């Protein structure tokens, strides 16, 4: 597939995923605001922090390394061997689900049953749902590698809609069920994703393989011999070795990604109620990251992995492909940087108002506004880190991945130490400050890799991190104006004052966007041609 075709399909996948995230996360956004009126902060804290951490940890440790390794290279490969390798995520998921499930049940503090009922059932349900989702992992990788946009969009749409409908229904009819509500909803999501992917891709060989695997489990004496024969004959060893390198890294990356939740869970630095407030603010602050940054990172990881060959220097690549990859990387960095700056500037002055509208005084009083303001700055770090690591991980060879594992080990240790001390000094705000530091170090490493990679070429994609001076001036003026507006008109001075505050922000945002259109013409053309072209054509 030509590089230009890959770029077009990748942009289509990213824009479709982003649009999907916006449409259906708006539904869940309203759903969370609704459930806040029915459920306690403690119950929300247990579900969104502890049980979700169990689910995400099992899934991440079982499949992240396989995704990284099997999405590299061309889509034209021996997919039988690749799918055989991907099925190893299932026994790995069973292993992690059993080990971590026992830790969650017997080693961690059990919530008060009168406040959070059915905790044990919730742990079992979330662990099993992670295993069920892993049964569809070969289908997900196959769809992602071949850029099957329709499959990914429809499957995720059905799962989100189903979960929303079931959760709202159970919260209204049976609020006393507690964790049963979220357990049933989680099961429904994973089953819908797996069944729909299975029906759409029609892979009889791949479907039969789990049955063979279950048969082997019944013959324990022959497992070792058959496993060795299976690995030698039916698995792509190059992908397997790369998977092992990413697997060692996945432990460390998971600590860096979910570090604050691990500290809340294992060190009890916050009670369940405070964990619930922190998680709500964290979800609000990360809306843009999930809407836009994550689809871009996932989709363009595939683009860079297909256009450029892993492990080769820039001189050994096709120069036309290098030029395209450098241009796309530069524009992507500029794109996410401007989005992050916009969130940082306007998020500071409108955090308290957003929390008051969303959750009332429970969120807008206390540390909630300060948490969201700090998270607005963290979004900027998330934006840049997602794209830089997207490119870096797509190009690193096995040896470079192994070396980076030591960097991740040092980062994990430093992050945990900084989080522990900052949390004792600043409470939940310390988690976000530690995450900003962590992301800053990771960005520095990725930008160093990118600079070194393109050093022997004429391309300088890191210039995408330099917006025009005029635009920076507008951002500064907007930050000052909206900060004064918040002091004068928000948030305890009535709705008319709030409307004035909102109007001031709208004017500043409009002026910033107009300046952006006038100064960043190359970026605007890229967004219109790659991300918006299919929607503009439909409109005409």
Return the percentage of the chain with pLDDT > 90, whole number. 12
Per-residue model confidence as pLDDT tens digits over 376-394: 999 999 989 988 988 888 8
Lowest average pLDDT, out of 139-148, 196-205, 506-515, goes to 196-205
Burial class (CB in 10 A: 0-12, 13-18, 19+), 17: buried
The Cα-based distances of 502 to 191, 346, 467, 478, 515 in angstroms read: 42, 11, 26, 13, 20
pLDDT in tens, 113-123: 888 888 898 89
Q: How high is the mean pLDDT of the chain?
A: 76
- Answer positive or negative: Cα dihedral of 366, 280, 343, 392: positive
Q: What is the mean pLDDT of residues 158-187?
A: 77
Rounded mean pLDDT of 266-288?
A: 78
pLDDT of residue 345: 93
Residue 76: partners with Cβ closer than 8 Å, 6 or more residues away: none
What sign results for the dihedral spanned by CA atoms 97, 128, 194, 152? Answer: negative
Residue 424: what are its φ and ψ, rounded to 5°? -70, -30
Distance CA 113, CA 351 (A): 34
Of 352 and 205, more confident: 352
Rounded to an integer, what distance in angstroms lies between the CA atom of residue 462 and that of residue 410?
A: 25
Domain boundaries, the chain: 1-38+269-460, 39-268
User: Which of the pair, 438 or 531, is modelled with greater confidence?
Assistant: 438
* Position with higher pLDDT, 534 vs 422: 422
Closest by CA to 128, choosing from 186, 208, 63, 199, is 186
- Where does the pLDDT of residue 68 fall: very low under 50, low under 70, confident under 90, or very high at 90 and above? confident
């Amino acid at each position: 597939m030509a590089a230009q075709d890959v770029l077009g399909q990748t942009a289509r996948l990213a824009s479709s995923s982003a649009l999907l995230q916006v449409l259906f996360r708006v539904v869940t956004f309203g759903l969370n605001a609704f459930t806040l009126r029915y459920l306690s902060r403690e119950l929300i804290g247990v579900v969104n922090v502890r049980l979700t951490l169990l689910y995400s940890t099992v899934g991440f440790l079982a499949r992240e390394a396989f995704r990284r390794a099997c999405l590299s290279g061309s889509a034209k490969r021996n997919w039988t061997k690749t799918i055989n390798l991907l099925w190893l995520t299932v026994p790995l998921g069973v292993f992690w689900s059993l080990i971590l499930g026992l830790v969650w049940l017997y080693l961690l503090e059990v919530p008060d049953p009168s406040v959070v009922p059915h905790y044990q059932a919730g742990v079992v349900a979330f662990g099993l749902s992670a295993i069920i989702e892993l049964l569809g992992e070969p289908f997900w990788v196959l769809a992602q590698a071949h850029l099957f946009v329709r499959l990914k969009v429809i499957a995720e749409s059905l799962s989100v809609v189903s979960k929303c409908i079931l959760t709202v229904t159970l919260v209204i009819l049976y609020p006393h069920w507690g964790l049963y509500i979220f357990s049933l909803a989680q099961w429904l999501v994973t089953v819908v994703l797996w069944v729909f992917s299975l029906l759409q891709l029609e892979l009889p060989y791949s479907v039969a393989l789990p049955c063979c695997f279950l048969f082997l489990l019944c013959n324990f004496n022959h497992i070792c011999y058959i496993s060795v024969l299976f690995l030698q004959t039916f698995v792509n060893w190059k992908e397997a070795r790369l998977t092992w390198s990413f697997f060692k890294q996945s432990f460390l990356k998971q600590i860096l990604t979910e570090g604050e939740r691990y500290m809340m869970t294992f060190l009890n630095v916050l009670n369940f109620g405070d964990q619930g407030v922190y998680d709500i603010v964290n979800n609000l602050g990360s809306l843009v990251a999930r809407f836009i940054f994550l689809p871009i990172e996932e989709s363009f990881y595939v683009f860079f992995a297909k256009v450029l060959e892993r492990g080769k220097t820039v001189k050994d690549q096709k120069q036309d492909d290098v030029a395209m990859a450098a241009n796309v990387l530069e524009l992507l960095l500029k794109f996410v940087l401007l989005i992050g700056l916009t969130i940082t500037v306007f998020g500071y002055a409108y955090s308290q108002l957003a929390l008051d509208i969303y959750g009332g005084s429970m969120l807008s009083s206390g540390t909630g506004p300060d948490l969201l303001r700090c998270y607005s700055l963290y979004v900027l770090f998330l934006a840049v880190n997602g794209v830089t690591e997207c490119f870096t991980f797509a190009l690193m060879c096995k040896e470079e991945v192994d070396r980076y594992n030591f960097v991740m080990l040092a980062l994990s240790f430093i992050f945990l130490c900084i989080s522990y001390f900052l949390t004792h000094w600043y409470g939940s705000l310390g988690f976000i400050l530690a995450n900003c530091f962590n992301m800053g170090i990771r960005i520095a490493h990725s930008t160093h890799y990118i600079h070194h990679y393109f050093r022997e070429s004429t391309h300088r994609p890191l210039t995408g991190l330099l917006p025009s001076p005029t635009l920076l001036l507008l951002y500064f003026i907007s930050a000052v104006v909206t900060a004064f507006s918040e002091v004068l008109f928000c948030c305890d001075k009535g709705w008319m004052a709030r409307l004035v505050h909102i109007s001031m922000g709208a004017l500043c945002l409009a002026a910033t966007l107009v300046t952006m259109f006038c100064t960043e013409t190359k970026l605007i053309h890229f967004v219109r041609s790659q991300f918006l072209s299919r929607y503009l054509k439909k409109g005409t």
